[in-house]
Amino acid sequence: MGCLPGPEESRSTAMSTTVPADPAAPEALPRRRLHLLLAALMLGMLLAALDQTIVGTALPTIAGKLGGMREYSWVVTVYLLATTATTPLYGKVSDLYGRRPVFLFSIGTFLAGSLLAGMAQNMTELIATRGIQGVGGGGLITLALTIVSDVVPPRERGRYQGLFGAVFGISSIAGPLLGGYFAQSDWRLIFYLNIPLGLVAAAFAWRLLTWVPHRRRSHRVDYLGAFLLVAAVSCLLLATSWGGQEYPWGSAPVVALFAAGAVLAVVFVLAETRAAEPILPLRLFTLRTVTLACLATFVLGCALFGSIIYVPMYLQVVKGASPTASGLQMLPMMGGMIVTSTLSGRLISRVGRYKWFLVTGSVLIAAGLALLGRLETGTSVWWAGLFLAVLGVGAGLLMQPLVLAVQNAVDLRDLGIATATSTFSQSLGGSFGTAVLGAVLSTRLAEALTARLRALPGGGGSGAGGGSGPGTLLKDPAAIGRLPEAVRSAVQHAFTDALHVLFGTGAAVAVVMVVMTLLLPDTPLRGTPAAPPPAPERVPGQPAAGPAGP
């Protein structure tokens, strides 16, 4: 890579012998160039992050117009599947071939998928094109974070990565808002909106990424490892997506997918131990910081993203809010995430440490989920907003510093794959969390709905939508408002009963994240006075890492 340790050719011999080089120090860019580059990367990341949230509120409308309610969940699942499975590939390939061509490829793939999705005439075409979008989206998020680590030293990285955390906060609110708005006009604009934004991002990236250093080196592409990784992740995600939804958990298809995923995962690990250049170097996990940070990131995805997607559903089902209004009522979470992500980044850069920001964020996320577990039909939207603000503050303190912890622990040559591994952990956790907690919600809702409807005079069944199950009710929250008052109240109380279990489960999972962050070493960021040019973290007994390079 283009920022190898050692004296630069343009420096004098005297200076190179008196000033030690930090092996992890990237080549600095002038501030104006750096800000332009960051703007282009943030725009690319916004495209991918927005597409994870914008479809949700519009999906009932899209599925109804394309006549595919049975394939409803696949529009979301296939995007998550493609994004999660390809994330590690981008990190490794960009380490080998450079950031610029790989980033441009990911933008091009994402835009092609967006254009085709907007032209879809049926659900099969929409699902296939969403998969293409996911392949591109996986690179946009991973490479944006990786490129920052190429041009910003660890000491300063926190303040800039805090801005990327704010992008996720914006997308989590703007997505449902835009999705609800376009669902009421023309749902195809959801996908066509990506085209002008993506072209601007591509134009800037074409020019600005020439400033990102890269030195080519001999390589061997781990095709076998890439295939096994994608196959294992695909099987496991399909099992968790189908389990309890399309098929019972103990059914043959679900059990077979879990078994196939486990076998493929074992074969993948064995293959990686023999690969000359593994797609996911297992040596990274000999580093305590990397292991704990990736586990915490996985749990973050499970607890936060697996839970928070149901808050807009609560606002629509229980409070009767429109899709657009429910997005507006999520603003406290976005505000908390943006403010603390930005401020914590600056504070981390100032103090040179990140651990206690992570611990505080983990505690606040667990507390926020526990508070959301107290939502009732009569809870004021102001109280709900306060609970969301707590959650947003916690997420702002946690998301980007976890990536920073991983980047600070590894050798320069592994920045790409290490960043991809961290992003992969969060995406994988979000996918599993969404699937598993969705199954928890569906199971508990079915039980609570049956019990409350039976308690009504005459059983209440006739007014419940003609035998519509929980899934059908939740796909059309507006229909609940048209039910008879007694039946509507029963449905709303049943939904809050189910949410208590869902958010309680999410809070319990978040406690695991608190433990993980407490166990993290309190390592100074490289470039701080407390951390003079260090070698990357290594396990005792291992030889020190040599210069990063070919």
Please tell me the least confidently modeled range out of 5-9, 28-32, 153-157, 358-362: 5-9
pLDDT at residue 98 greater than cutoff 50: yes
pLDDT band at 472 (very low <50, low <70, confident <90, very high): low
Report residue 76 CA to chain centroid gap.
Answer: 13
pLDDT at residue 119 greater than cutoff 90: yes
- Who has greater pLDDT, 74 or 400? 400
The pLDDT value given to residue 466: 42
Query: What Rg do the C-alpha atoms of the chain give, in angstroms?
Result: 24
Averaged pLDDT for residues 511-529: 84
Helix ranges, 410-539 (H): 415-454, 470-475, 477-480, 485-519
| Local structure of 409: helix, strand or coil | helix
The pLDDT value given to residue 527: 59
- Who has greater pLDDT, 188 or 424? 188
| Local structure of 87: helix, strand or coil | helix
The pLDDT value given to residue 365: 94
Domain 27-222+276-519 belongs in CATH node 1.20.1250.20? yes
Contact 161, 105 (CB under 8 A): no
Residue 305 has what DSSP assignment? I
Please tell me the least confidently modeled range out of 136-140, 305-309, 473-477, 503-507: 473-477
Residues 314-362: pLDDT tens digits? Answer: 887 888 877 677 777 888 888 888 888 888 878 888 888 889 999 999 9
pLDDT at residue 459 greater than cutoff 70: no
- 17-to-6, 292, 549 alpha-carbon distances in Å: 10, 37, 20
The 3-class SS string of 201-221 reads HHHHHHHHHHHCCCCCCCCCC
- 479-to-72, 475, 507 alpha-carbon distances in Å: 17, 9, 31
Dig out the tokens for 24 from the structure.
């992890």
Helix ranges, 373-414 (H): 381-409
- Geometric angle at alpha carbon 537, from 535 and 540, rounded to 5°: 110
Please tell me the least confidently modeled range out of 20-24, 276-280, 295-299: 20-24
Residue 243 has what DSSP assignment? B
Contact 129, 157 (CB under 8 A): no
pLDDT band at 68 (very low <50, low <70, confident <90, very high): low
At 142, which helix (H) or strand (E)? helix 123-151
pLDDT at residue 543 greater than cutoff 50: no
Q: Residues for the chain: how many in total?
A: 550
The pLDDT value given to residue 6: 36
Rounded-to-integer distance, Cα 41 and Cα 37, Å: 6
pLDDT at residue 157 greater than cutoff 80: no
pLDDT at residue 481 greater than cutoff 80: no
The pLDDT value given to residue 510: 92
What percentage of the chain carries pLDDT values higher than 90? Answer: 17
pLDDT at residue 422 greater than cutoff 80: yes
Residues 165-214: pLDDT tens digits? Answer: 777 767 767 777 787 778 777 889 889 988 998 898 888 888 888 877 66
The residue written with tokens 């995600």 in the block is 237
The residue written with tokens 């000033």 in the block is 19
Question: Which residue type, as a one-letter code, is found at position 523?
Answer: T
pLDDT at residue 381 greater than cutoff 80: yes
What percentage of the chain carries pLDDT values higher than 70? Answer: 81
The pLDDT value given to residue 46: 84
The pLDDT value given to residue 9: 34
Please tell me the least confidently modeled range out of 44-53, 181-190, 292-301, 462-471: 462-471
Question: Which residue type, as a one-letter code, is found at position 88?
Answer: P
pLDDT band at 389 (very low <50, low <70, confident <90, very high): very high
Rounded-to-integer distance, Cα 255 and Cα 436, Å: 15
The pLDDT value given to residue 215: 60
Torsion of CA 452, 455, 457, 460, to 10 degrees: 40
The pLDDT value given to residue 357: 92
Rounded-to-integer distance, Cα 148 and Cα 42, Å: 10
Neighbours of 343 (CB within 10 A): 14
Short-list 113, 56, 104, 57, CA closest to 83? 113
Residues 233-289: pLDDT tens digits? Answer: 888 877 877 776 678 878 999 899 999 999 999 999 999 888 887 877 888 888 999
Instruction: Give 488's Cβ-side CA count (13 Å radius).
Output: 14
Please tell me the least confidently modeled range out of 48-52, 478-482, 536-540: 536-540
pLDDT at residue 22 greater than cutoff 50: no
- Domain residue extents for the chain: 27-222+276-519, 223-275
Name residues whose C-beta falls within 8 Å of residue 543's C-beta, 6 or more positions apart in sequence.
none
Averaged pLDDT for residues 295-309: 83
Burial label, 176 (beta-carbon count in 10 A; 0-12, 13-18, 19+): buried
Torsion of CA 154, 419, 79, 300, to 10 degrees: -70
Instruction: Give 504's Cβ-side CA count (13 Å radius).
Output: 11
Averaged pLDDT for residues 87-108: 83
The pLDDT value given to residue 460: 52
pLDDT band at 548 (very low <50, low <70, confident <90, very high): very low
